């Protein structure tokens, strides 16, 4: 069992009967869904999931894991994935189909469990921003105040999120704090959401920076997580 499998098992073992679970974007989401399905079959649990992406929803359907909508019920927990986490357990997410959906799930959950790859490199932090395609050149220029910025590409074309938006990746200058970036970027016309997740993680499970080390440890935050109740 590798580091990610251990982390996935710990997260899924935390799920209780009757839970509604949000699933953030990750290429490894199928491993989580397989483990959830095993618990449903083994323990007859009544569990529903709210995936952040249509791709994850299709994987859930393939594994016969029941789906629901975010508006139908508050989330008991969210399983999230992060490329980097700082010493305050704020995290940066780059692998995403929609930063807007990922952050909505995290904000609406009672508990946020983050499977993280590594501790943050303060000297090189690359933060994605989901932006409107309209006037994207101007948005790119505005975000360049934080550091070198470029439009994310996929097969020689701009990457498109599930909301039909674009992603701009920015290498933050050392002088910028994550909370300053999160606050300031929302004032830039065209910026819809950032990949900075502040004060949201309830529990971070580390899988190790390199596969050969397979580091695995758990840390928990202190204090309350902001909860936004969904409106029907």
DSSP secondary structure string for all residues of 69-83: -TTTS-EEEEEEEES
State how far the Cα of 23 lies from the Cα of 28, in Å rounded to an integer. 11
Looking at the predicted structure, is the pLDDT value of residue 232 above 80? no
Q: Which structural domains are found in the chain, ordered by start?
A: 3-120+197-210 (3.40.50.1360), 125-194 (3.30.70.260)
pLDDT tens across 79-117, in order? 999 999 988 889 999 999 999 999 999 999 999 999 998
pLDDT tens across 116-131, in order? 988 888 778 999 999 9
Per-residue pLDDT at 1: 60
Residue 212: pLDDT band with limits 50, 70, 90:
very low
Per-residue pLDDT at 231: 41
pLDDT tens across 4-35, in order? 888 899 999 999 999 999 999 998 899 999 99
Whether the CB-CB separation of 10 and 218 falls below 8 Å is answered with yes
Cα-based distances in Å from 172 to 129, 143, 149, 163: 12, 10, 9, 25
């Amino acid at each position: 069992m590798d580091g990610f499998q251990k982390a996935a098992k710990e997260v899924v073992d935390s799920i209780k009967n009757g839970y509604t679970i949000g699933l953030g974007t990750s290429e490894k989401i199928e491993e989580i869904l397989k483990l959830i399905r095993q618990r449903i079959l083994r323990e007859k649990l009544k569990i529903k999931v709210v995936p952040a992406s249509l791709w994850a929803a299709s994987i859930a359907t393939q594994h016969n894991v029941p789906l629901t909508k975010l508006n139908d019920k508050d989330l008991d927990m969210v399983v999230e994935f992060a490329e980097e986490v700082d010493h305050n357990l704020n995290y940066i997410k780059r692998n995403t189909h929609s930063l807007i959906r990922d952050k909505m799930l995290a904000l609406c959950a009672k508990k946020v469990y983050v499977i993280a790859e590594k501790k943050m490199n303060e000297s090189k932090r690359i933060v994605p921003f989901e932006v409107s395609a309209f006037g994207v050149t101007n948005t790119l220029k505005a975000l360049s105040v934080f550091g070198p910025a470029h439009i994310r590409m996929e097969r020689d074309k701009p990457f498109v999120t599930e909301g039909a938006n674009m992603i701009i990746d920015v290498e933050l200058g050392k002088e910028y704090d994550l909370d300053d970036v999160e606050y300031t970027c929302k004032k830039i016309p065209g910026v819809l959401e950032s990949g900075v997740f502040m004060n949201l993680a309830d529990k971070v499970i580390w899988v190790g920076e390199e596969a050969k080390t397979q580091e695995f440890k758990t840390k928990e935050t202190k204090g309350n997580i902001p909860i936004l109740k969904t409106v029907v």
